[in-house]
Amino acid sequence: MHQIFLSYAEEDSDLCRDIAARLEQAGHGCWYYERNTVAGRSYLAQVAEGIRSAQVFVLIASPASLGSYQVTKEVEQAHQRNRPIVPILRDVTEQDIEQRQPSWYAALATMAWIDAAALHGARVAEEIVRSVRAFGCSPQTEARADGLAPATVSSHAVDRHTPTILWASDGNQIEIPRLKEMVFQTPVIAEFLRSDQKFFLSANKGLGKTLLMRFKRSLLADRYFHRDEEQPTGRAMVHFVPEGHPYLDLMSDLPTISKGHNRFLSDLRTCKRAWSFALRISALSHFPDLVAAESVLDSEVLPTRIARWLTGKRVEPTVVFRELLSFSLKEVNRVLDQFENSLDFVFRNIHSGVYLFLDKVDQGIRSVDREAWINIQGGLIDAAWDVMNANSHIKVYASLREEAYANYESDIKANAYGATTTLRYSHEDLARLIDKLTRFYEGAGSFSDFVQHHSIRNQRGEVVEDSFRYLHRHTVGRPRDLVIVCSELSRRQGRLTESLFRSIVTETASEKIVPNIFDEMHVFLNSLRDRKERHRLWAMLPHNVLTRQDLEQICCRYNGVELSEFSDYQTSGGKGLSHPFCELYDCGLLGCIREDQATGIERQQFKQPHDMSAEWSCGLPASPYYVLHPALQAMIHTLRSGTEYRVFRFLVVGHGYPWRDYFPALIEIQRRLFCVADREVLAAVEEFLSAVHAALSEQRPRQLSWNDFGVADVRPLLEQKGLDDLYLTIDQLITDFLTERE
């Protein structure tokens, strides 16, 4: 149970995080919106649940919160539930509250007020601790002197119908003490976590970089946390950056930057210089006496904030990096040129351990150009490697997107290759991962036990699938996507019919996963970056399986050019024309047909998270057919309900699924059938095709004919309806196909 609910406006999140960290060091569990809400569930419901489960309600009253409708609702809910309210004043007075929020004042009138401005930091926390304990809140666990939060979530219930832990889709939502229980480890992950020579984590979005970086730091913190008789509460033997929460240096969004700054960041060398400066400043901010003793850094010439960081105000590397980019390019170059050498001189004299952890840099730089996006991350790795070589007491742990790692080039990258872990998950790995998380979150033995279905009927494909395989093919193979869907399934467990399971999986995949993919691939998109442009493309798609010719025709319509111009487009490498299907393929949402080299069987292939191109060029793999991902197909089907958009029957779309040799015949027949409006004909032909599909999928050895399927002959009906052409098409395709098989 979270003992304390923290209510605040977004503008006061810094104070909220600081208070929560100090309260948790004192042994009190805290709940606050920024950290504890999870994706896939109404945040209003989660807030209400947080207030209901808390013993004490702490309110940060500020100019921003006084004007916040949501904070007012939270105060009202706390008052209605008779929760004791501890008010903290930040830049407001009691009179301000009485005038602007009389309902608050009525609820708070008998409470003791804590003035944040008068007390500051630790004193504020001490007063809050004193207040909450006066209301009967005793510490849940012994305080941790290393800054780690104590476990604040009770053990998950044995009854899997009433889970007490919500599925978390972001690594920051998992509390540190629970990581050992729920982190899934492949041999590659285990090596990253335990090795002293692994510093960098490369992976696509949604593969768990943040989770593993936090776990790596927690393991190192345990190793370097020391207790002795003089200081039984413990002390860290190295400096960890950042200290306490949020546990990793998470880069916040860059503001909009100029074209000149984009050019500056598009150069790997300048990015490396900026990161080298930022890493050194961050490390030295923990040793102000060393900086003062060396007397080589003129604080009067340094920009104000940077000078302050060198005189005792500790800072994270991403903050320094962002500060540099707030200067003009002339000033950036002046600072780097003037202080690089002297800064390095002092930096090399650090003789205590400093471990820096950087994460989510890729998210913070989404607004920059593609080349800058790649080189900022590549420059961080190069700078980190040089920094660690310059001073072995400094360790830099950083994550980066695999698209960036695969596309930047430098000599240092080759040297740092052995220190970089690239995440990979096979289908079997993901199945074991979800089984482990199911045990952690639901108390069930496996995923199929959790959803109460070992197999799922695929009605359109007329096959039965393993329930996890059904879930997996509606994602793009990322753990986070699976967790998002499982979170939705968890809300409905206990009443999960097979139909409801299918509905939740397809709806969640189309409504949450697909939009996330476009957002995360934003920097690599041109045609499909804009939502309106995506919808314009969806309106042009006739069905979910397309030939190469279909793609070329749609692409020309999308660009407003004639088909005759398409060959010129291909010859010129795509210049002057948009090819949205290339972008769909790179997003993992358009698949092609490829022969499996090991078995000789043709299979559907969608780009997987680890299948990153060496170059992002315009071009699709050669294939007779292209298939829309099931999640994208479900989204388009919903958006275009009632239109002429069609979905083919008798084939299951998914990465690695076989492409049967009779699929082209079934597809061609259905394409012709799409032009028929007569329901009697449609029903008769589809029944016939269903029988054909069943017979062919069973691989019957003898030659088949029209009369082998136990259904009424459709020929008289087609002749009666004047559909001789359709009959001849079916007869010819089936005859040719069966002859080839024989």
Q: How far is CA 386 from the centre of its chain?
A: 30
Mean pLDDT of the chain: 84
Q: Please return the burial class of 139, using the count of CB atoms within 10 Å of its CB with bins 0-12, 13-18 and 19+.
A: middle
Position 733 confidence tier, pLDDT thresholds 50, 70, 90: low
Provide the strand spans (E) within 33-84. 56-61
CA torsion sign, 627 to 629 to 634 to 636?
negative
Task: Provide the residue ranges of all domains of the chain, joining segments of one domain with +.
Answer: 4-143, 189-422, 531-741
Tens digit of pLDDT for each residue in 220-241?
A: 988 887 544 554 444 567 899 9
**What count of other Cβ atoms lies within 10 Å of the Cβ of residue 615?**
7
Q: Which of 45, 154, 156, 152 is nearest to 450 (CA)?
A: 156
Give the 3-state secondary structure of residue 250.
strand
Residue reference for tokens 């920051």 = 172
- The tens digit of pLDDT for each residue in 165-187 reads 689 888 888 888 889 888 999 99
Residue 157, pLDDT > 50, answer: no
Highest mean pLDDT among 76-90, 155-169, 723-737: 76-90
Residues 732-741: what's their mean pLDDT?
62
> Is residue 209 pLDDT above 50, yes or no?
yes
* Residue 722 vs residue 2, higher pLDDT: 722
pLDDT score of 516 more than 60: yes
Burial of 41 (0-12, 13-18, 19+ CB in 10 A): middle
| Rounded CA separation 145/135 (Å) | 25
Q: Residue 65: enclosing H or E segment and its boundaries?
A: helix 63-66
Q: What is the mean pLDDT of residues 424-447?
A: 93
Tokens in use for 250?
Answer: 């998470």
| pLDDT at residue 678 in the model | 85
- pLDDT at site 592: 96
Most confident of 20-29, 69-78, 546-555, 667-676: 546-555
**Residue predicted with more confidence, 549 or 730:** 549
**pLDDT (0 to 100) of residue 640:** 87
- Compute the distance between CA of residue 430 and CA of residue 423 in angstroms, rounded to an integer: 12
Which one is predicted more confidently, 426 or 33? 426
CB 628 within 8 A of CB 556: no
Q: Distance between CA 612 and CA 502 in Å, rounded?
A: 30
Looking at 205-312, list the stretches that DSSP marks H as alpha helix, in order from N- to C-terminal side.
Answer: 209-223, 259-265, 268-284, 288-294, 304-309
Residue 481: CA atoms inside 13 Å, Cβ hemisphere, count?
29
The pLDDT, as a whole number, for residue 686 is 82
Has residue 424 got a pLDDT over 50? yes
User: Strand, helix or coil at 299?
Assistant: coil
Gap between the Cα atoms of 451 and 358, Å rounded: 37
Average pLDDT of 578-603? Answer: 91
Q: How far apart are CA 693 and CA 674, in angstroms?
A: 18
Q: Is the pLDDT of residue 620 over 50?
A: yes
d(CA 210, CA 201): 9
Q: Which residue has the tokens 């003009």?
A: 328
Question: Considering only 368-372, 543-547, 600-604, 697-701, which range has the smallest mean pLDDT?
Answer: 697-701
Give the 3-state DSSP-derived string for 326-340, with helices as H, strands as E and coil as C.
CCCHHHHHHHHHHHH
> Which tokens go with 718?
């087609």
For 485, residues 6+ apart whose C-beta sits below 8 A from its C-beta are 471, 474, 475, 504, 505, 508, 509, 513
User: Are the C-beta atoms of residues 143 and 171 closer than 8 Å to each other?
Assistant: no
CA angle 264, 267, 373 (to 5 degrees): 85
Report the sign of the C-alpha dihedral through residues 309, 314, 317, 320, in that order: negative
Cα(321)–Cα(319) distance, integer angstroms: 5
Can you give the pTM of this predicted structure? 0.75
Burial class (CB in 10 A: 0-12, 13-18, 19+), 138: exposed
Protein fold of 4-143: Rossmann fold (3.40.50)
Q: Is pLDDT larger for residue 376 or for residue 72? A: 376
Going by the DSSP 8-state scheme, the letter that residue 645 receives in this structure is: -
pLDDT of residue 144: 40
From CA 141, how far away is CA 14, in angstroms rounded?
25
pLDDT given for residue 139 in this prediction? 75
Query: pLDDT digits over 77-99, tens only?
Result: 888 888 888 899 988 888 888 88
Partners of 543 in the beta sheet?
646
Cβ atoms 556, 563 nearer than 8 A:
yes
pLDDT reading at 569 higher than 70: no
Residue 145's pLDDT band (cuts 50, 70, 90)? very low
> Distances from the Cα of 428 to the Cαs of 65, 186, 425, 472, in angstroms?
48, 11, 8, 11
- Band the pLDDT of 143: cuts 50, 70, 90: very low
Q: DSSP per residue over 402-425, as a string? A: HHHHHH---HHHHHTGGGEEE---
Asked if the model's pLDDT at residue 365 lies above 90, the reply is: yes
Angle at Cα 194 formed by Cα 391 and Cα 402, nearest 5°? 80
User: How many angstroms separate the CA atoms of 252 and 719, rounded?
Assistant: 68
> What would you report as the CA-atom Rg of the chain, rounded to the nearest whole angstrom?
30
Diameter of the chain measured on Cα atoms? 101
When comparing pLDDT for 525 and 127, which is higher? 525
| Mean pLDDT of the 30-37 span | 83
Q: With contact defined as beta carbons under 8 Å apart, do 448 and 467 qualify?
A: yes
Nearest in space to 491 (alpha carbons), one of 499, 501, 482, 481: 501
What is the C-alpha to C-alpha distance for residues 680 and 667, in angstroms, rounded to an integer? 20
Lowest mean pLDDT among 24-33, 81-90, 353-362, 614-623: 614-623
Give me the pLDDT at residue 152, please.
37
Integer Cα distance of 270 and 264 in angstroms:
7
Q: Which of 160-174, 361-375, 701-715 has the lowest mean pLDDT?
A: 701-715
What are the b/e assignments for 271-295, b being 16+ CB within 10 Å? bbbbbbbbbbbbbbbbbeebbeeee
Rounded to the nearest angstrom, the gap between the alpha carbon of residue 47 and the centroid of all alpha carbons in its chain is 22
Highest mean pLDDT among 61-65, 107-111, 453-457, 730-734: 61-65
Give the pair of three-digit tokens for residue 261: 């700054």
Q: Which of 253, 451, 259 is nearest to 366 (CA)?
A: 253
Q: Report the amino acid identity of residue 265.
A: L
* 91-122 burial code (b ≥16 CB/10 A, e <16): ebeeebbeeebeebbebbeeeeebbbeeeeee
**Spatial distance between the Cα atoms of 592 and 234, rounded to a whole number of angstroms:** 57
Q: Does 264 score more than 90 pLDDT?
A: yes
Q: Is 458 left (phi over 0), alpha (psi -120 to 50) or beta?
A: beta
Beta bridge partners of 355: 240, 395
227 compared with 728, residue with greater pLDDT = 728
Do residues 345 and 374 make contact, with C-beta atoms less than 8 angstroms apart?
Answer: no
